[in-house]
Structures are given as C-alpha cells and as structure tokens.
C-alpha cells in the first residue's frame, strides 16, 4: 500500500464520539458499547471534535439531564452540520418519540437495542426524521455485562441492572426493567481482565447493587448475595482497591459492614442514599426504611471504621415536604456523622407515582432548600477533611494534568492535589495529610 493510499484510507474511516450523561452505570455501558467500534473501521475522537457520528448516552433522573441532551445535540451539529446523531440510554427508552423529534437526531435506541448500536450505524447519512428502535421494558429481562477502561486509574464494573423497587419519584424501573445480575463467575473474569490493564481501582456499580444475585441465572432466586460477591472479589490479589458505588440502607447489612471493616481490598467509603430525613416523606416516597434504620447503619459503620467516609443522596421539594418536614431533614443530617451530600431538587417525571400527588413545593422553595443542604454538605465535607489531617493514608493519583496539578483520592475518599508530577500518575502512594487549600483539596507530605 502506497503512502498516499494509506493516508486516504485513514481519512476515510468514520470518526465517532461518545458522551455520557448521568451515573457511573451509564459510563460503564458507554465504554463497553464504544469498544465495538474497533480502530480498524472507526476512529474514536473527543465529543468536542469534528466527527461523522455522535452518540449520546442519556439520563432520565432529572429535568436538567433532558435539557443538557438538547444542548449536546446543538453542539454536535455546530461541529459538523451533517453529523449522524444517535441517542441511547434511559431517556431514549422512556421518551423515544420525543427524542426522535428533536432537530438533528437520526436514531434512538432503547434499553436492549443500545448494545447493538454498531449494527444500526452502517449508513451515517442524515435522515429526514429520527428512527426509533425501542422495546417494551418488560423485554429488558436479560443481562448485558459492562465495564469501563477509559480511565487507566479506575474502572467502573457493572454487577447488576434494573430495579424492582417502586419509589414514587423514580423512572429507573421503567427505563431499565427488572432487577437482574451478572453471574459471579463472569464478574470475577471481568475483574481479572481489568487488572491486566494496569488499573488499580474497581468501582462496583449498578442500579441497586445490594440486590445482587437476583436474576443471576434468569430466575428471581438469589444464587449468590452481595456479600458473596464482595468476599469473592476480595480474594483477587491483583485487585488493589475496590469501592462500592452506592448501596441502599435496607440492603447494607451488618455482615457487609463487618466484612468491609476487615477487608483486604475494599476501601472505607460508603455512599448510602437517604432522600429524606422525615419519616412521613420517606413513606410517601415508598422507600424501604425509615430514619432510625439509616442512623443505625451510619453508627455501625463509624463504630467499626472510624475513618470511613460516608456520603448520601437527598431529594428536596418532594410533594408534601412542608417547612417543618424539611427542617426535620436538615436537623437529621446536621446531627449525623455524615461526610458529604449529593443534593437533588425534586423533578416531576411522567408516569411516576409522585406526579399526581398534591401539596407541590414551588420551584423557588426547592431551590432555597437545595442551597441550604449544599451549604451543609460543604461544612460536613470540610469537617471530615479536618478530622483526617495528620493521618497517613494511601492515595491513588490520577493520570491527568489538571491546570498544573495532579489530583488523587485516598482510600476513604479524601481529595488531594499537588503540583503536577508525572511520576505519581496512576500510582498508589503513602502520604500524610497536612492542610486544606483554598479550593478544598488536601495538601500532603509524601512518605518515603
């Protein structure tokens, strides 16, 4: 092959770009889907580069994610007006026709079809209208394995999908289907594949990972439990660090906490969704616990692992959240030994139980309450960081130069940074935490 012919062939390969909205589970699935587009036939480029095809993995959790999707479509068309644009993921499953009607969208794939994306991209010419391929959600009853390899520092490993809970604010069961799990054997195989890439940390992810084992072999009975899963992963010596992304408080048992406390590889970091600190609101949400159980879970963690970082999710402005009920939430969290919060303003989502509930909270009040809890979260994170000063911890450093700094995470989720030093990239180093800088990162002294 001549030089000119080789250059022509390289240029003729279609460029494809991916963008992920939403959770770690979406990231793991985007990474897996993108690996189907091998370098022999496609060239992977960043989403802000010119491409022939742009793929957006959508999220349905909040209204902001919907709005951001439209902005991403406009951005892609600005970079290439003739680009082929595909929408996949949760919002694509829930509102396929609405997405297909957005100017510039050519293809919409639902919950099961998204894993066959490459089969739909044989012709990248623009279409006069968006084509929809979306199954009924009851058909999303089999499991597709996924894990990310985009970041050499850590990988998101999907272990479970779907949810059988009926929380009244949530669209996820309608977007992802019933609770189902990967097989324990396959997860172990994937974990070994990840470690062979030099990745130091695995983050276990899913919709409701504490429900792991349900649907593992196509049936509702648990062949294995989440405790079985983490015990098996802990035995893989090549795995340096394992992190649990998020686990429901009613599924976070004493046995799981006890295991993490003495584990070789599992880090002392839990993310436990709360949603409200008022029992009446929790009942309206159809959550499967009350505040007493949540408090007990956190007390159990802190009693066994005092240095553990514990985060939580909170929704403000849910229908029926009066001023006094919000104050209950604020007070509950203020008195709780929690390290940080992810705060969400309630978003009305079609076909959810909450959509027809009375006693709506105005957007102005939702915004005010969100700011109050975000302020509390900042204080909680600062207090947690201050409690860790003087401690010697293991930090996994990222491999990216961020404005002249290198950043990293301790095993208990303390964010550190120092002037850029490529020798630290993708390494676990023992450091002593010294001080907190103006941007909230912790400075350290490296141990020899």
Could you state, in order of their start, the residue ranges of all structural domains in the chain? 3-135, 140-267, 301-386, 392-446
Mean pLDDT of the chain: 93
The pLDDT of residue 302 is above 70: yes
Percent of the chain with pLDDT over 70: 96
Residue range 103-112: average pLDDT?
94
Within this chain, domains 3-135 and 301-386 share the same CATH topology: no
Closest residue by Cα to residue 283 from 155, 166, 132, 181 = 166
The pLDDT of residue 6 is above 50: no
Per DSSP, 238 falls in state T
pLDDT, residue 1, reads 42
pLDDT in tens, 180-228: 999 999 999 999 999 999 899 999 999 999 999 998 876 667 789 999 9
Angle (nearest 5°) at CA 275 between 270 and 277: 100
The pLDDT of residue 243 is above 50: yes
Contacts of 165 (CB under 8 A, 6+ apart): 173, 208, 286, 288
Percent of the chain with pLDDT over 90: 84
Dist. CA 179–CA 163, nearest whole Å: 4
Q: Which CATH class is domain 3-135?
A: alpha beta
Residue range 70-81: average pLDDT?
96
Q: Are 55 and 92 in contact (CB under 8 A)?
A: no
The pLDDT of residue 103 is above 60: yes
The domain defined by 301-386 carries CATH number 3.40.800.20: no
State the pairing for strand pair 107-109/180-181. unpaired
Q: How many CB atoms lie within 10 A of CB 180?
A: 28
Contacts of 166 (CB under 8 A, 6+ apart): 173, 286, 353
> Higher-confidence residue: 74 or 8?
74
Encoding tokens for residue 377? 């979260």
Closest residue by Cα to residue 253 from 301, 314, 310, 181 = 301
The domain defined by 140-267 carries CATH number 3.30.750.210: yes
Encoding tokens for residue 218? 């196509």
pLDDT in tens, 30-39: 999 999 998 7
- How would DSSP label each residue in 268-322? SEEE---B-SSHHHHHHHT-S--HHHHHHHHHHHHHH-TT-EEEEEEEES-TT--
pLDDT, residue 421, reads 94
Closest residue by Cα to residue 301 from 247, 253, 257 = 257
Closest residue by Cα to residue 40 from 13, 17, 18, 16 = 13
pLDDT in tens, 60-70: 876 777 788 99
Residue range 265-276: average pLDDT?
98
Closest residue by Cα to residue 159 from 133, 121, 194 = 194
- pTM higher than 0.85, yes or no? yes
pLDDT, residue 448, reads 63
Residue 426 burial (CB < 10 Å; 0-12/13-18/19+)? middle
Which residues, in sequence order, are bridge partners of residue 53? 16, 84
Dist. CA 74–CA 80, nearest whole Å: 10
3-class DSSP assignment, residue 46: coil
- How would DSSP label each residue in 120-168? H-S--S--SS-EEE---GGG--S----B--SSSSEEEEE-EE------T
pLDDT, residue 219, reads 67
Per DSSP, 241 falls in state E
> Higher-confidence residue: 376 or 150?
376
Closest residue by Cα to residue 137 from 113, 119, 165 = 113
Closest residue by Cα to residue 136 from 105, 108, 172, 112 = 112
């Amino acid at each position: 092959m001549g030089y000119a012919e080789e250059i022509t062939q390289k240029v003729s390969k279609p460029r494809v770009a991916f963008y992920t909205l939403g959770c770690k589970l979406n990231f793991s699935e985007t990474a897996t889907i993108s690996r189907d587009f091998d370098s022999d036939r496609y060239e992977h480029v960043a989403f802000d580069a010119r491409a022939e095809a742009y793929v957006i993995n959508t999220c349905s959790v909040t209204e902001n994610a919907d709005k951001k999707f439209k902005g991403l479509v406009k951005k892609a068309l600005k970079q290439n007006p003739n680009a082929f644009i595909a929408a996949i993921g949760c919002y694509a499953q829930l509102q396929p026709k609405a997405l297909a009607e957005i100017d510039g969208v050519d293809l919409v794939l639902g919950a099961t079809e998204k894993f066959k994306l490459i089969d739909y991209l044989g012709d990248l010419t623009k279409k006069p209208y968006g084509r929809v391929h979306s199954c009924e959600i009851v058909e999303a009853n089999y499991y597709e394995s996924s894990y990310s390899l985009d970041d050499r520092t850590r990988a998101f490993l999907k272990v479970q999908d779907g949810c059988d809970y009926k929380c009244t604010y949530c669209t996820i069961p309608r977007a992802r289907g019933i609770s189902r799990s990967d097989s324990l054997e396959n997860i172990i195989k994937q974990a070994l594949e990840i470690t062979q890439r030099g990745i130091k940390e695995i983050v276990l992810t899913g919709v409701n990972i504490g429900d792991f084992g349900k649907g593992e072999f196509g049936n509702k009975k648990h062949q294995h439990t989440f405790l079985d899963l983490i015990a098996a992963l802990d035995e893989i010596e090549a795995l340096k660090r394992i992190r649990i992304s998020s686990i429901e408080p009613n599924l976070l048992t004493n046995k799981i906490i006890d295991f993490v406390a003495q584990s070789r590889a599992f880090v002392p970091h839990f993310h436990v969704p709360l949603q409200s600190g008022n029992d009446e609101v929790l009942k309206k949400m159809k959550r499967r616990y009350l505040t007493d159980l949540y408090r007990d879970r956190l007390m159990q963690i802190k009693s066994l692992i005092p240095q553990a970082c514990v985060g939580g999710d909170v929704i403000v402005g849910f229908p029926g959240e009066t001023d006094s009920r919000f104050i209950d939430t604020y007070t509950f969290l203020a008195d709780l030994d929690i390290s940080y919060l992810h705060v969400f303003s309630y978003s009305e989502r079609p076909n959810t139980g909450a959509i027809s509930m009375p006693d709506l909270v105005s957007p102005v009040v939702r915004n005010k309450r969100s700011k109050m809890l975000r302020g509390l979260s900042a204080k909680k994170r600062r207090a947690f960081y201050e409690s860790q000063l003087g401690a010697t911890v293991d930090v996994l450093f990222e491999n990216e130069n961020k404005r002249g700094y290198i950043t990293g995470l301790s095993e208990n989720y303390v964010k550190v940074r120092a002037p850029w030093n490529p020798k630290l990239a993708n390494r676990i180093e023992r450091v002593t935490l010294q001080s907190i800088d103006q941007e909230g990162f912790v400075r350290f002294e490296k141990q020899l």
